[in-house]
Amino acid sequence: MSTTATTTTATTTPSSTSSTPTTPTTPTMFLPPTAQTPRLSIPFALRLPILTGTSILLGGALGSMVGGHRASLIFRAENSHRQPTSTKGWYFYHKTKNYHVAYGAVVAGVKHAVRVGAWVAMFVIFEDAVDRLRGRVDALSTVCAGLGGAGVFSLWHGLGYGFAVRTAKKGFVIGAGFGLAQDAIRCLKGQHGGVFEYMGIGAGRREARAADEAAMATRH
């Protein structure tokens, strides 16, 4: 008597839901800006000392010119009642005057250089902080930095309401002008970011549209 044993093979079907590895997401406020390149194509670590150093040089030059001219006027006013009467007296008069002018130019130049450099450094730091908080690089962050700097300036000097409003307007104009100039450079270079991407201008926006169309085509 032969018995036939039937063997059943169990087949396992893969589950319809496959587990895909997920990468941990970082909160938006800690992410770098979404643009491919930083502002002015210079990283923040280099942009801060470059802009601060340039502002220090310009502030020192302008401050020394104003300070030297002011010291010259003060010296002439203080010695207007005792003008020299001889050639030797005029020689020492101009020599002393040049000394006072040089001293006043150096003192005023250093003061203006430190002051302008500090405000520009604060502006650049504010701008980069707003970029990182928003996750975008555009003129809006620069406007926020200008308004923030104007607010700190008003509080530091204890300005009244009227002067504070005027300072805020100037900060808005400076921030908008500098921000739009940066966005224009970014648009001309075909880089991502900037307010011009919202209007569909620039190579960055065209590349984003092409990528979206390619993604839609692969899905169908």
Q: What is the pLDDT of residues 138-168, one digit of tens each?
A: 889 999 999 999 999 999 999 899 999 999 9
Over its C-alpha atoms, the chain yields an Rg (Å, rounded) of 32
pLDDT in tens, 98-119: 999 999 999 999 999 999 999 9
Q: Which two tokens stand for residue 82?
A: 């005792």
Residue 137 banded pLDDT, cuts 50, 70, 90: confident
**Which pTM does this prediction carry?**
0.71
Helix orientation angle between 161-188 and 139-157, rounded to the nearest 10 degrees = 150
pLDDT in tens, 161-210: 999 999 999 999 999 999 999 988 888 877 766 777 767 666 555 555 56
3-state helix, strand, coil in the chain (%, to 5): 70, 0, 30
In this predicted structure, the answer to whether residue 1 has a pLDDT above a threshold of 70 is no
Identify the residue whose tokens are 């690089």: 137
- In sequence order, which residues have a C-beta less than 8 Å from that of residue 79 and are 6 or more positions away? 93
- The residue-averaged pLDDT of 76-96 equals 90
How far is it, in rounded angstroms, from Cα 218 to Cα 55? 51
Q: Please state the domain extents for the chain.
A: 36-135, 136-206
